[in-house]
Chain A
């Protein structure tokens, strides 16, 4: 899952070193347009439904947080 997320992120923003970034939202590296595209891609790739209430900085600040969010959503569903 992690590799697949990394692939989506790198395709979305090739200019960002996602492995090292821990504050993608807090530092404004990903903007709202990126988030919308990313959520669409993640929903499609992992068959989950990321809702607006999931759009918290702590869920998108780094790759590991995204992995955790998706795992939680998969468990819920």
Chain B
């Protein structure tokens, strides 16, 4: 049941109708029921994996809480002289117990994710290279990936770490905890919500509110425009050019890389808009995952605005623990003593950043190209952090007005260029092919494609090409306005006829210009199987 399929809309409508008929205290149970139905309908037997995540997360959250209660009790008994243990030892034991729970969670849940995602990919490659056939030595699993496995795994692990850090209270009701993990709009492709933000939204009751319904509807419609009119149309060109890359060269790759940037953004952020819109119809607010990332002026800013919930997840649960670990702090201290003050200050963050990006690369897939992609962004982020100040100083020395619009535009274009090039690294299944494409791009000579109808030979006929360019311009204009104002709030201030005219216009645009595949269903979302 894809997020843009008719089945999904019927399912959503039925879920909403029943939801608002129920007393508020029972509404969360209904959400759990429809979430379970949605998951089992989409994943069938693979649903067993999310069930394991729900059970293990619940049990471990309670164990962490019990450890904390035991520690507090020990402190009381130490104070009363009933226990001979000293406070530091009790504290250390508590940390050890709680850490064991986190490791168990990582082993079970991240273990499932890693095995399901990488086992077949890695061993079919090893079998083929060294044993003459994909199935010749290490047996493959052929299980497939459960829907949204990395999103719900990250969310579950984050929940446990928050309890460990006392930043969230564990949910004592197993079914409520299960709802947090399985909540159906977010299960497909995130966002990766925090318990403290999402729990009150999904557990609390909501009364029917027409504004929420229309707000959610507008958001879903806009998401469908981005997905079906832009991303799926751009995807045709991207597939056509990059899967048959031997037949193309130079500027043709640049045009396709540009299309790929819009495909990725339209697909992922469009999907998130649909998810948030669906949740909004229930009255449930979900965190946003994109903040117009192509307006970013440097790479770190881009990653703060693109897939924000994954970025903050990596930051809070990987980057900070690594860079503030006792080992990192010891190294930093020792460097400081030796007089390497700058290195002492930056080294823990830089090393953690590279590791984080390698993990991010691996999350995108198994293969050299994903590791290189991770390293590319890791190095760019480190360089940007290290030299940002110096570049600003250099600009001042050269008397460049760094506050004018043209300079901002230059910075945005530079970031867009770096991101687009980075994506070429993993666009083909073989890293060697990506290098061939990159070489061709940087030695491009065939500028004639812009003047001799060459643009219409990249998989899209002239009318489709125009629709794509026009739709991208619409997206750009809307996003420029979004930088300055809340468009949906502004819409509510407008005349009713204008609002409905716009909504119907968007509906017809999606219906007429949307790209449909088999059975009039849109193409699957790129991040659906992550």
Q: With A43-B329, A56-B167 as known contacts, state yes or no: A51 contacts B324, CB within 8 Å.
A: yes
Q: Tell me if B165 counts as interface (CB < 8 A to partner A).
A: yes
The residue in chain B whose Cβ has the minimal distance to the Cβ of A43 is B329
CB of A52 within 8 A of CB of B385, answer no
Complex-state Cα separation, A59 to B125, whole angstroms: 49
* A57, chain B: closest CB distance, angstroms: 11
CA distance A31 to B388 in the complex (A): 13
Q: How many interface residues does chain B have, given as a range? A: 20 to 34
In B313-355, the 8 Å CB interface with A consists of 315-316, 319-321, 323-324, 329, 332-333, 336, 344-346, 348-349, 352-353
In the complex, chain A residues 1-55 whose Cβ is within 8 Å of any chain B Cβ: 12, 15, 28, 31-33, 35-37, 39-41, 43-44, 50-53, 55
Indicate which residue in B167, B321, B333, B385 contacts A33 across the interface (CB closer than 8 Å). B385
- Give B333's nearest chain A residue, CB to CB: A44
Interface size on A, residues (CB 8 A): 20
**Residues B332 and A32 in contact, CB atoms below 8 Å apart:** no
Find chain B residues with CB under 8 A from A12 CB. 345
Q: Check B365 for interface membership: any CB of A closer than 8 A.
A: no
Q: How far is the CA of A37 from the CA of B349 in the complex (A)?
A: 8
Instruction: Check if B352 sits within 8 Å of A44, measured CB to CB.
Output: no
The one of B167, B345, B389 in contact with A40, judged by C-beta atoms closer than 8 angstroms, is: B345
The answer on a CB contact under 8 Å between B333 and A52 is no
B2 at the interface (CB under 8 A from A): no
Q: Closest CB of chain A to B159's CB: distance in Å? A: 15
Chain A residues contacting B345 (CB-CB under 8 Å) are 12, 37, 40-41
Q: Which of A35, A37, A55 has the most CB of B within 10 A?
A: A37
The answer to whether B77 has its CB under 8 Å from any CB of chain A is: no
Taking each of B304, B349, B352, which has the highest tally of chain A beta carbons within 10 Å of its own beta carbon?
B349
* Docked complex Cα distance between A12 and B319 (Å): 19
Note all chain A residues with C-beta closer than 8 A to B166: 53
- Complex interface: chain B residues within 8 A of A15 (CB): 389
Residue in B165, B167, B316, B348 whose CB lies within 8 Å of A36: B348
Asked whether, in the complex, the Cβ of B323 is within 8 Å of the Cβ of A36, the reply is: yes
Query: Do A32 and B315 touch across chains, with their CB atoms under 8 A apart?
Result: yes
Chain B residues near A50 (CB-CB < 8 A): 324
- Distance of B394 from chain A, by nearest CB (Å): 15
Q: Is B422 an interface residue (CB 8 A)?
A: no
Q: Which residue of A lies closest to B162 (CB)?
A: A53
Nearest opposing residue in chain B for A39, CB measure? B324
* In the bound complex, CA of A28 to CA of B333 (Å): 27
Q: In chain B, residues 284-321, which have Cβ atoms closer than 8 Å to a Cβ of chain A?
A: 300, 304, 315-316, 319-321
Question: Can you name 8 A-B residue pairings with CB atoms under 8 Å?
Answer: A28-B304, A33-B385, A36-B348, A36-B352, A37-B345, A50-B324, A52-B321, A55-B316
List 9 additional A-B contacts (Cβ < 8 Å) besides A33-B385, A44-B333.
Answer: A12-B345, A31-B304, A35-B320, A36-B348, A44-B336, A52-B316, A53-B166, A55-B320, A56-B167
Query: Lowest 3 A-B CB distances belong to which pairs?
Result: A53-B165, A36-B349, A36-B323
B residues contacting A by CB (< 8 A) are: 165-167, 300, 304, 315-316, 319-321, 323-324, 329, 332-333, 336, 344-346, 348-349, 352-353, 385, 389
